[in-house]
Structure 1
């Protein structure tokens, strides 16, 4: 493995920018965000059961540990951030000149020295710093957790940092520093696991009742984070762990780890598929069997697969964090005028780190659900969800709450086209609509049977999608009347739920959306009462146009029946029957033209990446139509004979656009959920970006053609990925 400087040398590759401006600075750490004062004390511990791994002539392992905890009063002397000897070693190792190291001894902390702890049975978090880094660099994070009621156990790993000060005045240096290879990093991580277990043994014995031994977690930065997985494997007392920006050089082996784990790292280093560091996380991710998240924080550029950096010119560049940004070195260094290459203010970097670390432990040590861990947050736009064990749908972009309900329909005028022994056609439709309130339980994405059928053969657990919920309130009371209606038809073998993100977004902008489940044409569909229908049509040979034409014409009949049923039901007042549109993906898109030809109530249509096997013949189609294609090479390449044939027969408003960086699944929830779970969809654009583009163009099209509101992005590209082919 290629070992980068991130793990090899130091987090402090600094360039001095303005030392004269920092001659007499007043240096501060981040203020704790909790409501409890913080106390601290130092512990000297000696493990006589083993020799020091770096200095074998020392027949024991001695460690310094700082405890941080809630206290009753903030009155008393505050903890010194760093001794002068430690500061000199830090400055010397980083090559900092022109600033007196003594300035680090004046940094203001918020922890009262040797204050008496308030409370017993506290949840505990062990923190481990990066290689060469003294434990002081995680003081802000420690104080923040303690202010929220945690006992924080901050460990200095002797001889692995530039300086550790002991009670008798001795200062040890970095005996481990020198040459580095894979075996070195593995030894380092395994040694830290032993350190942490010894510290926990000592603490439980010496301070009984202070911590709750059933609620202990661990987090670390750089190599301290990388060692968290191995420590959890070695010590089952650790119930949850976090790796903050640390390459994991010691592989997690089968049977893996079934306790909660969070990866949090820089986007340009730890985005899946971008290099050696990210590859170590991908390897271990596959062995994590419990709750897990892989979050990346912007480093100022958005990486593509292969490691090259790019950015979206349509959006302002999100400021970026660098390796020291997660620690107090980033915070204090910025105040000293030192440049780490970060564009995110250090205080913001601290706030992001503290928020996600605290949310993780609140959820997994205290049992308090944290929405911050469920999906990206507008409060922290710097954070992206690279992988998750519990997928989510992106929030709708409109200003209206969304409700949804399942509607069962039965067409007794015709037998089922795929199971002729059934003398009727029955359908399941999900309606999405603006709701009167956002309060209430959210709609389940798929039933257990539907999840198992969709995921069969994927290698994922059959119930993976059972816990996924939409953003819509189940059976909520509708808001509004006479709203435009859009019918959505999914791709072949795909359940109707796979268009939920698009449907919810339209509903949040004031549309009623009917997503049709075409029975026996998807992997599986549940009916009221628990009945389940599989994919009967999948047993029919597909290698001829007659099959696909039957499919498209049958979907056209399904859509007309759905329109008849909705406009004559209790939902009739909610819908404006003069403003109906249709869109579909894959064969659902291919069936849009036949549906519009057969039913003049459909005023506008969109085909999203679907071939048309039923030709559009004279006199053609005079109503608005939009084709949306995945990326072709070369751009807008000829070859889609079906679209060329039908485009020539369209006499009304028409457009044909192509979206770069996409593949077939990129336009639906299949791409979104697949990417979150680590199942590739082969598109170089992130699925969330493809969804953003899809939702924007679908909404713009129907705004213009069902609402009469001009939308400029239909005349010129509104996204750099979009090209107009016709």
Structure 2
């Protein structure tokens, strides 16, 4: 059910007359005109005696000048109807007539063939509630038409002085909401017909039309897009969809934007409606939720109401809610109607920490937490001193290494996460209904082949889990590099789902074809130790990369089999000064005299109680004679520490963790950085001495 806005809240005895809407953020003056439209092809759906459908719309557009009379926010009659419906007393309706707006009435338009955005308000709400959003979009060069759906709001004023009320108000069953949403779709199509065949046609580019709405207006955007292919992209702002999106679904871009406490997946009926329709959206799609806002926060009702002293239950100020709404709506239409890429839509932004990505069709890595730009390059290495351990016919060992480092500039093409072949191999058997090349579009931060910044940097080698390509530790690698580390992310050929080489060859998982017994695990981990030593030899003797690296400050960390390989590597290669095993079972026992260099174990939650027994780690712990730590992160699963957990969560996959992958990444980044800061840079890091997160337990 789409719930109408309710304002029945305590009100002040008096109200400030200085009410205003959010100022447009664009640099163009805004004009507005009101249009009366009459559809004689169909009767009114709510009043049987009216054989036609009448609509009032407000058309906003970039104007030649900002001079002239400003748009009245709403009439006193309309304002009184809004107050009466909400049970508001003690505030004169006249204050709403004086709300400051920016659009100049009937100003001369500037430009032509502009993108057009249709806005549809919530049930019972007049079109005025979306004025500031319309003004903002128009100030950035877009034409915007805001539709009053007659008899579906408390008051619509017509040019002849008539004011219609809410004939649709009354019995709100499931059939009602479906009728409402489908009727709004018909209204929108009629508005498009009217504008594109009127004197306003030259203002509009009919090939670039989008729609957004609030509450039931947002829910109606899906219906409108299904019935009218002219609408190329749509947004539902905080509206429960009561008319299910059926197969074959919708392949045009769509954005859900709602309250975090209502539309976070799994929170209730409202989010369930989005989850149902999400599965039928087959094109570009995002599901974003905003913390601390209430239903009116996305509209002018929230902004003006807050200025009047009304409490809607939001903890985020209304002006901030408006800014968030305008930023994401504008970015969406700039990307999908104007073809301008918008990084704001790729992943969470530090500019808008209130906004979380609940789900996305284009996975992303979280932004690095350091202050340095990150570059990366792909390095091919060939070890002719030994045959490949998994393919006897191969007389040498080939490796691909991703080298991350602080870069001179953040500008340039971003690193491709994986090749198309690697993406298809990794996704094969996942059960996900996604394109096989999906991971080639994953959003990264590092700039491909950027010029390095700095020299003699500490080097951290990262080794991924078994069957996992090196890319699955990219988020951690980018983060370390943003804090001033060089990072060598090693792809162990024939030990993962697929490795692409520069000459176009593709190597699959040859090791997957042999029995996986205890001898296999030991061979795997000792072989990885040999791989890492060869990588260190190659990088520290490379004319190009040796100056970047301080060979006296080398560390290693890995996940799963990569983590378990860290101890054998440190035993075999004294250049590795400190190491971390992230959730890996060690198959090569650490024997006397043990290891005196710093080492840290990090585990997911193994049992209901913290720090459950782990026999291999306890065996090796006894042989660690230097600095050592053993921590466990509650609510996590094995994949939580890697990009696999992140991407799975973004795509709506339940990996069985109660701590989100984003939160786990925050924790693991903190501890990995702190560990190497202390042991490769000599910097104190208190988080290594006592738990810095409630999810973290110190087991040893």
TM-score, normalization by structure 2: 0.97
Which residue in 2 is equivalent to 1:495?
469
Match of 1:591 among 557, 560, 565: 565
**Maintained 8 Å contact 1:63/1:155:** yes
Superposed, 1:229-240 pairs within 5 Å as: 229-240=222-233
Q: Structure 1 residue 585: deviation in Å?
A: 0.3
Which residue in 2 is equivalent to 1:28?
20
Give distance in 1, aligned partners of 2:669 and 2:375. Answer: 18
SS at match of 1:149: coil
Which residue in 2 is equivalent to 1:262?
255
Which residue in 2 is equivalent to 1:290?
283
Q: 432-441 or 553-562: which moved more?
A: 432-441
Superposed, 1:189-208 pairs within 5 Å as: 189-207=181-199, 208=201
Match of 1:170 among 153, 162, 171: 162
Give distance in 2, aligned partners of 1:78 and 1:474. Answer: 50
Q: Structure 1 residue 16: deviation in Å?
A: 2.2
Superposed, 1:303-452 pairs within 5 Å as: 320-452=292-424
Which residue in 1 is equivalent to 2:495?
521
Q: Structure 1 residue 17: deviation in Å?
A: 4.3
**Maintained 8 Å contact 2:17/2:98:** no
Match of 1:665 among 606, 629, 639: 639
Which residue in 2 is equivalent to 1:309?
none
Match of 1:702 among 665, 668, 676: 676
Q: Structure 1 residue 25: deviation in Å?
A: 1.6
Q: Deviations over 1:633-655 (max 9, x none)?
A: 32324232111111122111111
Give distance in 1, aligned partners of 2:487 and 2:137. Answer: 45
Give distance in 1, aligned partners of 2:496 and 2:673. Answer: 26
Residue 80 of structure 1 pairs with residue 72 of structure 2: yes
Which residue in 2 is equivalent to 1:316?
none
Which residue in 2 is equivalent to 1:60?
52
Residue 249 of structure 1 pairs with residue 223 of structure 2: no
Give distance in 1, aligned partners of 2:109 and 2:454. Answer: 56
Which residue in 2 is equivalent to 1:313?
none
Q: Structure 1 residue 537: deviation in Å?
A: 0.9
**Maintained 8 Å contact 1:266/1:296:** yes
Q: Structure 1 residue 469: deviation in Å?
A: 4.5
**Maintained 8 Å contact 2:36/2:54:** yes
Q: Structure 1 residue 493: deviation in Å?
A: 0.6
Match of 2:530 among 544, 557, 567: 557
SS at match of 1:339: coil
**Maintained 8 Å contact 1:19/1:336:** no
Give distance in 1, aligned partners of 2:95 and 2:178. Answer: 35
Superposed, 1:30-45 pairs within 5 Å as: 30-45=22-37
SS at match of 2:189: helix
Which residue in 2 is equivalent to 1:186?
178
Which residue in 1 is equivalent to 2:120?
128
TM-score, normalization by structure 1: 0.94
Which residue in 2 is equivalent to 1:315?
none
**Structure 1 unaligned regions, length at least 5:** 299-319
Residue 104 of structure 1 pairs with residue 96 of structure 2: yes
Q: Deviations over 1:612-669 (max 9, x none)?
A: 1111122222111111111233232423211111112211111111112211111111
Which residue in 1 is equivalent to 2:601?
627
**Structure 2 unaligned regions, length at least 5:** none
**Maintained 8 Å contact 2:611/2:697:** no
Give distance in 2, aligned partners of 1:639 and 1:323. Answer: 48
Superposed, 1:568-587 pairs within 5 Å as: 568-570=541-543, 571-587=545-561
**Maintained 8 Å contact 1:493/1:522:** yes
Q: Structure 1 residue 683: deviation in Å?
A: 1.6
Q: 565-574 or 602-611: which moved more?
A: 565-574
Give distance in 2, aligned partners of 1:633 and 1:506. Answer: 30
Match of 1:158 among 150, 153, 157: 150
**Maintained 8 Å contact 1:418/1:520:** yes
Which residue in 2 is equivalent to 1:310?
none
Q: Structure 1 residue 439: deviation in Å?
A: 2.7
Match of 1:472 among 446, 453, 456: 446
Give distance in 1, aligned partners of 2:466 and 2:670. Answer: 24
TM-aligned CA distance change 1:81 to 1:469, over 3 Å: closer
TM-aligned CA distance change 1:17 to 1:91, over 3 Å: closer
Give distance in 1, aligned partners of 2:97 and 2:536. Answer: 74
- How many residue pairs are counted as aligned between the two chains? 696
**Maintained 8 Å contact 1:294/1:388:** yes
Q: Structure 1 residue 670: deviation in Å?
A: 0.9
Q: Structure 1 residue 541: deviation in Å?
A: 2.3
**Maintained 8 Å contact 2:464/2:472:** yes
Give distance in 1, aligned partners of 2:584 and 2:82. Answer: 61
Which residue in 2 is equivalent to 1:546?
519
SS at match of 1:414: coil
Residue 71 of structure 1 pairs with residue 63 of structure 2: yes
**Runs of 4+ residues over 4 Å off in structure 1:** none
